[in-house]
Amino acid sequence: MKLLKYCPHCDRYTFEDKCPACGRPTVIAHPPKYSPKDKYGEYRRKAKLRERGLN
């Protein structure tokens, strides 16, 4: 299974080592599902931390 990569230049996710849009090298996305456009992402991450008792 390929790692999800992220292009900070285009602010987009891809599985390629190079961004299909701009051709620049991508970086490994951490966390994989994070998106600044996902307004519920932060809530979900906090809920996950509470599940693990880390909050």
Residue ranges in contact with Zn ion by CB under 5 A: 7, 9-10, 19, 21-22
The smaller minimum CB distance to Zn ion, of residues 5 and 7, is found at 7
Q: Smaller CB distance to Zn ion: residue 5 or 19?
A: 19
- Write the CA distances from 32 to 26, 51, integer angstroms: 13, 19
Shortest Cβ distance from residue 29 to Zn ion (Å)?
13
Return d(Cα 13, Cα 54) in angstroms, integer.
Answer: 28
Q: Are 5 and 15 in contact (CB under 8 A)?
A: yes
Output 3 or 21, the one with its CB closest to Zn ion. 21
